[in-house]
Amino acid sequence: MNSFNWDNLKIFLAVARAQSALEASVLLGIDQSTISRRLHQLEKDIASRLFDRNSQGHRLTAAGHRLLEHVEKLETSITAIESEVFNDSMSLTGDIRLGATEGFGSYFLSPHLARFCARHPNISVELLPMPRNINLSKREADASVSLERPTNDQFVTSKLCDYRLLPYATAEYLDRHAPITTVSDLERQRWIDYVDDLKFTNQQFTLHDWLPGIKPFFCSTSVIAQFQAAQAGVGMAFLPCFLANTVQNLIPVLPDDIQVTRTFWLTAPEDRRELARVKVLWEYLRKVADANQGYLMGAEKHIRWVTP
């Protein structure tokens, strides 16, 4: 054990929680080959195989489960040291890892977070825009913006905002197809949608929920992929207004007749929410969301900036 590298435990923890070296590489910002090499070194150091590896990902072995139990206790101790020994709960310094849905994180939160970091140079924000829910119980992030309201009593949760979705298509697509004057006309369109059986939450909007008889010609688990496909002018997609309004070539269809809204929730574990740096980011995100309610609901075309 003289050569044991404790840094490899962080990689082990990420892979164990994601059950995938690829997803762990995204979470940690480390390339997948480095993760695989470090895992093999860890297994060599402790002389035990920690994962069964196959096409489905990484599954813990019995030895892996035993190690995970100890590493999670170590992680809890480190968090306590940050708060109690280094006075972390009162200092506007350190790292914040924020999880978010893919489209909202990439197209709305990202520019606001960049301004926040410019205002608070001693705080580093790691944004994780993912096409799945971030697991706060497993410490994948310090806070998250999600479509579902968590029910765990150990979390602090606040409604962040509502947002609206509408059908969007390019002018070229609309010119090539019959006029759309009523909702029933939408049934004859070429649709882009989610892969219905791979939704990560029931709050994700899919055509199957709204027009169950429609069979989309193109589907993706990524809202950004749907957004790009709609911009190509080959079909129509239901998109969040905050995403579609970032480009000029997408036109909302029947905006006066269709009302589809969803809600984003801001959540953090109680111990992380009490950290000063998390508190100041939390309040900033609430101000940003309040200032941009018109933009998120499709009533305004431009983002409003808020002083961090």
Across residues 155-160, what is the average pLDDT? 95
In which band, very low, low, confident or very high, does the pLDDT at 151 lie, cut at 50, 70 and 90?
A: confident
Whether 206 and 219 map to the same domain: the answer is yes
Q: What is the pLDDT of residues 211-226, one digit of tens each?
A: 888 889 999 999 999 9
Whether 258 and 270 map to the same domain: the answer is no
Q: Is there a domain that residue 1 lies in?
A: no
Total domain count for the chain? 3
| More confidently predicted of 113 and 92 | 113
Across residues 140-168, what is the average pLDDT? 92
In which band, very low, low, confident or very high, does the pLDDT at 105 lie, cut at 50, 70 and 90?
A: very high
Res 31: pLDDT: 87
CA distances to 184, 209, 230, 250 from 168, in Å: 16, 17, 7, 6
With both helix axes pointing from N to C terminus, report the angle between 8-18 and 32-46 in degrees, rounded to the nearest 10. Answer: 110
pLDDT above 70 covers what percent of the chain? 94
Across residues 105-117, what is the average pLDDT? 95
pLDDT above 90 covers what percent of the chain? 58
Q: Is there a domain that residue 60 lies in?
A: yes
Q: Is there a domain that residue 68 lies in?
A: yes
Nearest to 240 by CA among 219, 264, 265: 264
Tell me, what amino acid is at 98? L
Residue 76 has φ and ψ, to the nearest 5°, of: -60, -40
The separation between the first and the last C-alpha atoms of the chain, rounded to the nearest angstrom, is: 47
Whether 12 and 74 map to the same domain: the answer is yes
Which of 84, 117, 141 terminates a domain? The answer is 84
Across residues 179-207, what is the average pLDDT? 88
pLDDT of residue 180 exceeding 60, the answer is yes
pLDDT of residue 87 exceeding 70, the answer is no
Whether 58 and 175 map to the same domain: the answer is no
The CATH number of whichever domain residue 51 belongs to comes to 1.10.10.10
Q: Report the half-sphere exposure of 213 (CA within 13 A, side-chain side).
A: 5
Measured distance CA(246)–CA(13) in Å, rounded: 37
Measured distance CA(73)–CA(299) in Å, rounded: 48
pLDDT of residue 13 exceeding 80, the answer is yes
Measured distance CA(289)–CA(282) in Å, rounded: 11
Q: Is there a domain that residue 306 lies in?
A: no
What residues contact 190, with CB distance under 8 A and at least 6 apart? 173, 177, 217, 234, 235, 236
Structure tokens given for 290: 């309040």
56 CA to centre of own chain: 22
Whether 179 and 222 map to the same domain: the answer is yes
Q: Which residues of 2-35 are buried (b: 16+ CB within 10 A; e: fewer)?
A: eeeeeebbebbbbbbbbebbebbbebbebeeeeb
Residue numbers of the domain that contains 20 = 8-84
Q: Is there a domain that residue 277 lies in?
A: yes
Structure tokens given for 240: 């969040």
Res 83: pLDDT: 58
Nearest to 165 by CA among 92, 250, 76: 250
Structure tokens given for 280: 């100041």
Question: What letter would DSSP give residue 217?
Answer: S
pLDDT of residue 234 exceeding 60, the answer is yes
Q: Is there a domain that residue 2 lies in?
A: no
Nearest to 142 by CA among 161, 159, 123: 123
Structure tokens given for 61: 């072995």
Whether 146 and 114 map to the same domain: the answer is yes
Whether 257 and 270 map to the same domain: the answer is no
Measured distance CA(136)–CA(153) in Å, rounded: 12
Res 133: pLDDT: 77
Q: Is there a domain that residue 125 lies in?
A: yes
Res 157: pLDDT: 95
Whether 36 and 183 map to the same domain: the answer is no
Q: Is there a domain that residue 303 lies in?
A: no
Whether 175 and 244 map to the same domain: the answer is yes
Whether 153 and 270 map to the same domain: the answer is yes
Whether 45 and 169 map to the same domain: the answer is no
Res 225: pLDDT: 96
Res 1: pLDDT: 44
Across residues 6-32, what is the average pLDDT? 85
Which of 40, 62, 84 terminates a domain? The answer is 84
Whether 281 and 135 map to the same domain: the answer is yes
Which of 49, 67, 84 terminates a domain? The answer is 84
Measured distance CA(147)–CA(223) in Å, rounded: 14
The CATH number of whichever domain residue 178 belongs to comes to 3.40.190.10
Across residues 86-102, what is the average pLDDT? 79
